[in-house]
Chains A and B, each alone.
Chain A
Amino acid sequence: MLTLRNADACYGAAQALHQVSLSAGPGDVLALAGRNGAGKSTALKVLAGHLALRSGTLEFDGKTLANPTPEMMSHLGVAYVPEDRQVFPSLSVRENLVISTVAHPRPRGGWTIDRVFELFPRLKERRRAFGQELSGGEQQMLAIGRALLCQPRLLLLDEPTEGLAPVVVAAVVEAIREIVAEKAGIIIVEQNFTVPEALATSFSVMDTGRIAWNGTKAEYMENRRDVMSLLSGLGSDAQPQPT
């Protein structure tokens, strides 16, 4: 479905991605882990159409996307939940969900506002509250619900459980299971594999803008200890950032 091939990307003069390749198809859950600044969020920004590639390609269903924009990625079925959630502060919870139906009027993937309320009953209770009044956990549920109403074929989740109470993490994990059951693909970015381990079908580790390791679920389980120590040891020998 969505494939990133040999991608280089920059913020101004600083190169943030080096030859990154990632791929996710229907029903896949790709877990992408790495330390702060490893390039995970940057990779998701590229996939969401918010950052242009310097070289490499972004392909959807085998076709190369020449100039991907956020609008285009949304219409292709790629929905984005950014790290800072970007809940609209001056819209009510309900309006934060309705806004997704403007460009996605037909529930092609079967997601309706009522179904989002079933998935996250807390949002239904808070439906009249404004975005700026929500707790971190409520904001995360709202950002995921808003993405689901874009009827995603692929959902990009940037640290969806960061800073959340365990009971909220459980709700988010449950939601991810339900989304996977719909045959949508998911790319989930986290600092480590603790949360996504039980969900993921493939695993990638990023470091200093590069893919440091990747493998299938079986390969991950076989090398679990090595991957764990790779994750915990990354960056400790302070490689200089190439320019």
Chain B
Amino acid sequence: MVGKENVICMNDLTKYYGQHQALDRLNLEVEKGTVYGFIGPNGAGKSTTIRILLGLLKPTSGSAFILGKDVIKKGAVIRRHVGYLPSEVHYYERMKVRDVLNYALSFYPDADRSRLEYYLDLFEVDPKKRVKNLSLGNKKKVAIIQSLLHDPDLLILDEPTSGLDPLMQGVFFNVLKEEKEKGKTIFFSTHILSEVEKICDRFAIIRQGQIVATKDVESIRKQVMRILKVEYPAQDRIPHIEHEQIVKREVHDHIVRYYVQGKINEVLRQIVHDELNDIRVEEPSIEEIFMDYYQPKEPEGGK
């Protein structure tokens, strides 16, 4: 059953390449207006999933829906409302940038052509250049423009920032925020975890073709531990502090890192009671949180 507000819905999506199983019964729902991170290490199945959504690959079994329509049966209709940014950009080398973008626009007769000039200016792309003369970053910018030109309801971005300089990454993220404010849905594949933290509302982690977790970025931040890094005057002056919220303690010389679960107020009060040189509150990066999901589990009984 396809949820009313779900822009993307995958049901037991499975894909085999010969004997190799690339996707294993993927189930995922992306609600309208969400910026959804789709993260996982290389070869986890991110691009395969995206290519099935776009109709480039056929699933071995299972189904996928975009805007309530089957991606296999109604692919062409769906793609009218989808903007796609591939991870590696390949256009017709001899064409000029403007010709490529006009060619892309020609598939959307109702598209507002003024958006082309707007985005060319915004991303500082020279439309007279031939594709073959563009740098990797500039090709990426052309691809970003092409994905946005027809004002799609859903943006599918496959590792969108690779090749972009930090300045352009900033411009790009601002555009994504604007699109989100307009109610657009963004499905965002990446293995750069800080990007997920920066822009996503929710994320799913895919590993070895399986979804291993789906989480809310905000809630995971609230649930996670904070680290209190306390510098005492000397190692023999480190007090013995016990609290139910302290789940772990690491001592290095005269510095102690207390891992605190939940609110830190009480623990903090207890710590500052003793003499100390410095105290810092650290949040584990989202990368540290994800790493547990990322790494393949050792088989039981293994080394």
A and B, one complex? no
Question: Which residues of A are interface residues toward B (Cβ below 8 A)?
Answer: none
